[in-house]
Amino acid sequence: MAAKPIALILGAGPRIGSSVAQRFASNGYRVVVASRNGTGSKTSEGYLSLKADFTKPDSVPALFDAVKAEFNAAPDTVIYNAAALTPPTDKDSALSIPVESVVSDLNVNTVSPYVAAQQAVAGWATLPADIKKTFIYTGNFLNMVVKPVPVYINLGMGKAASAFWLGVADGTYTSKGYRFFFADERTATGDSKGKDIDGPAHADFFAQLASHEGNVPWLATFVKDKGYVKFH
């Protein structure tokens, strides 16, 4: 009997992270959640909980080592759901954000997920060829739209940069069967969901992406109850 698949959720917050964890567990996955509040033990739901600090990209490989130590296998599905934003000290000046905050937020939004993708690829090479391998990054509209709103600058820089490397990765690893997705929930008219993002909708769509169903492109814009919808 084949071992159950493994989903590693990096950034397991109360909305998207929690919903995604529940969905993958119900689909038969062994689930690992990593967050600032990780305990290093099992949660009441049976997930392996790991403590993580995504401002420090060099700490990411240890999370993958912990998964392998626990299950003797690499995660076949990796979901990066962490994000960071620092408001400018002058609300009307985007360039008033301290440089150290820019670096810290870029680590969370871009560098740590890049390291996680490197670790995912290294682990996938050890898994059987028939297992689907998937990396999903929780994005938003800021990779496509430049809004003159100073508070968005660090988050927008990070999302835009990550969208680029995810698109390149998806295109270059397709021959190996590896998929990389920038998942972005939208309204039915294609507008940003903003703070109204829907956890269960992400869970449904991420489960579809992990199964490689529907020929969804790397820029995976989606609508609740509809799945992938092309807006660009």
Q: Bigger pLDDT: 133 or 91?
A: 133
Under 8 Å between Cβ of 47 and 117: no
> Is residue 159 annotated as part of the catalytic site, yes or no?
yes
The pLDDT of residue 37: 87
In this predicted structure, the answer to whether residue 226 has a pLDDT above a threshold of 90 is yes
CATH superfamily of 6-228: NAD(P)-binding Rossmann-like Domain (3.40.50.720)
Cα distance between residue 130 and residue 209, in whole Å: 16
| Tokens at 198, concatenated | 């829907």
Under 8 Å between Cβ of 166 and 180: yes
The pLDDT of residue 194: 85
The pLDDT of residue 2: 65
Q: What residue segments make up the domains of the chain, in order of their start?
A: 6-228
Average of per-residue pLDDT across 56-70:
97
Note the pTM of the prediction, 2 decimals.
Answer: 0.96
- 134-168 pLDDT per residue, tens: 999 999 999 988 888 899 999 999 999 999 999 99
The pLDDT of residue 48: 94
In this predicted structure, the answer to whether residue 53 has a pLDDT above a threshold of 70 is yes
| Tokens at 54, concatenated | 């995504």
- 162-192 pLDDT per residue, tens: 999 999 999 999 999 999 999 999 999 999 9
Choosing from 4, 51, 147, 159, the catalytic residue is: 159
